[in-house]
Amino acid sequence: MMTKTKEFVAESVQNMRPSGIRKFFDLAANMEGVVSLGVGEPDFVTSWSVREAAILSLEKGYTSYTANAGLLELRNEIADYMENRFHVKYDPKEEIIVTVGASQAIDIAMRAIINPGDEIIVVEPCFVSYVPLVELAGGKAVTIETKPEHDFKLQPDQLKQAITPKTKALLICSPNNPTGTQLTKEDLQGICDIVIEHDLLVIADEIYAELAYDIQHTSIASIEGMQERTILINGFSKGFAMTGWRLGFCCAPKEISHACLKIHQYAMMCASTPAQYAALEALQSGMDDVVQMTKDYRRRRNYIVSSLNEIGLDCHIPGGAFYAFPSIKSTGLSSEEFAEKLLMEQKVAVVPGNVFGKGGEGHIRCSYASSMEQLQEAIKRIKNFIEK
Ligand code: PMP
Q: What is the pLDDT of residues 107-135, one digit of tens each?
A: 999 999 999 999 999 999 999 999 999 99
pLDDT > 70: what percent of the chain? 99
Looking at the structure, do residues 57 and 178 belong to the same domain, yes or no? yes
- How far is Cα 223 from Cα 192, in angstroms, rounded to an integer? 8
Write the CATH number for 343: 3.90.1150.10
pLDDT over 80 (residue 19) = no
Question: Do 121 and 76 sit in the same domain of this protein?
Answer: yes
Q: Is the pLDDT of residue 4 over 90?
A: no
Instruction: Locate the ligand 1 atom nearest the alpha carbon of residue 104 and give its number.
Output: 16
Q: How far is the CA of 107 from the centre of ligand 1 (A)?
A: 12
Please give the tally of structural domains in the chain. Answer: 2
Q: Of the candidates 365, 378, 385, 352, which has an alpha carbon nearest to the alpha carbon of residue 325?
A: 365
Residue-level length of the chain = 388
Q: Which tens digit of pLDDT belongs to each residue from 182-191?
A: 999 999 999 9
Out of 177, 231, 233, give the residue to mutate to test ligand 1, the one with the largest number of ligand atoms within 8 Å of its CB.
177
User: Quick one: which atom of ligand 1 is closest to the CA of 100?
Assistant: 16
Residue 102 Cα to ligand 1 midpoint, Å, equals 6
* Residue from 19, 127, 234, 356 whose mutation best tests the ligand 1 pocket (most atoms within 8 A of CB): 127
309 and 181 in a single domain? The answer is no
Distance 334 CA to ligand 1 centre (A): 26
Judgement on whether residues 22 and 76 belong to the same structural domain of the protein: no
Yes or no: say if 375 and 304 are a contact pair by the CB < 8 Å rule.
yes
| 299 CA to centre of ligand 1 in angstroms | 23
Q: How far is the CA of 177 from the centre of ligand 1 (A)?
A: 9
Quick one: average pLDDT of 23-36?
Answer: 84
What is the reported pLDDT for 139? 97
pLDDT 10s digits, 196-252 = 999 999 999 999 999 999 999 999 999 999 999 999 999 999 999 999 999 999 999
For 180-214, the DSSP string reads -----HHHHHHHHHHHHHTT-EEEEE-TTTT-BSS
pLDDT at site 198: 98
Average pLDDT, the chain: 96
Q: Would you say residue 284 has pLDDT above 90?
A: yes
Percent of the chain with pLDDT strictly greater than 90: 91
Q: Which atom of ligand 1 is nearest to the CA of 41?
A: 8
Whole-Å CA distances, 329 to 167, 325, 332, 361: 34, 12, 6, 9
- Sequence-ordered list of residues with C-beta below 8 angstroms from that of 308, at least 6 positions apart, any chain: 315, 324, 326, 366, 379, 382
Tell me the pLDDT tens digit for each residue of 83-97: 999 999 999 999 999
255 Cα–ligand 1 center, Å: 25
Where does the pLDDT of residue 165 fall: very low under 50, low under 70, confident under 90, or very high at 90 and above?
A: very high
Residue 36 and residue 55 in one domain: no
Which CATH number is 58's domain given?
3.40.640.10
From ligand 1's centre to the CA of 50, what distance in Å?
20
pLDDT in tens, 137-157: 999 999 999 999 999 999 999
Whether 159 and 258 share a structural domain? yes
Task: Mark which of 284, 316, 345 sits at the end of a domain.
Answer: 284
**24 and 91 part of one domain:** no
Between the CA of 104 and the centroid of ligand 1 the distance, in Å, is: 9
Are the C-beta atoms of 267 and 68 separated by less than 8 Å? no
Residues 42 and 52 in one domain: no
CA–CA dist 217, 228 (Å, integer): 20
Mutational pocket test of ligand 1: of 237, 247, 276, 351, the residue with most ligand atoms within 8 Å of the beta carbon: 237
Q: Which residues line ligand 1 (CB under 6 A)?
A: 40, 101-103, 127, 173, 177, 205, 207, 235, 237, 243, 248
Closest C-alpha to ligand 1, atom 8: 40
What's the confidence (pLDDT) of residue 315? 97
Q: Are residues 212 and 322 in the same domain?
A: no
Domain boundary among 235, 269, 284: 284
Q: pLDDT band for position 27 (50/70/90)? A: confident
Pair 58, 274: CB distance under 8 Å: yes
Please tell me whether residues 21 and 68 are part of one structural domain.
Answer: no
Residue nearest to atom 12 of ligand 1 (CA): 102
Neighbours of 247 (CB within 10 A): 26
pLDDT band at 28 (very low <50, low <70, confident <90, very high): confident
Q: Do both 278 and 346 map to the same domain? A: no
**Cα(207) to centroid(ligand 1), Å:** 6
Mean pLDDT of 294-302: 97
Does residue 90 sit in the same domain as residue 42?
A: no
Cβ–Cβ < 8 Å for 170, 159: yes
Residue 379: pLDDT above 70? yes
Is 304:326 a contact under the CB 8 Å cutoff?
no
Q: Which atom of ligand 1 is least distant from the CA of 205?
A: 1
Q: What is the pLDDT of residue 1?
A: 66
Give the residue from 262, 284, 306 where a domain finishes: 284
pLDDT, tens digit, 9 for 90 and up, residues 332-364: 999 999 999 999 999 999 999 999 999 999 999
* Residue ranges making up the domain that contains 216: 48-284
232: closest CA among 99, 93, 356? 99
Rounded Cα distance, 39 and 378, in Å: 14
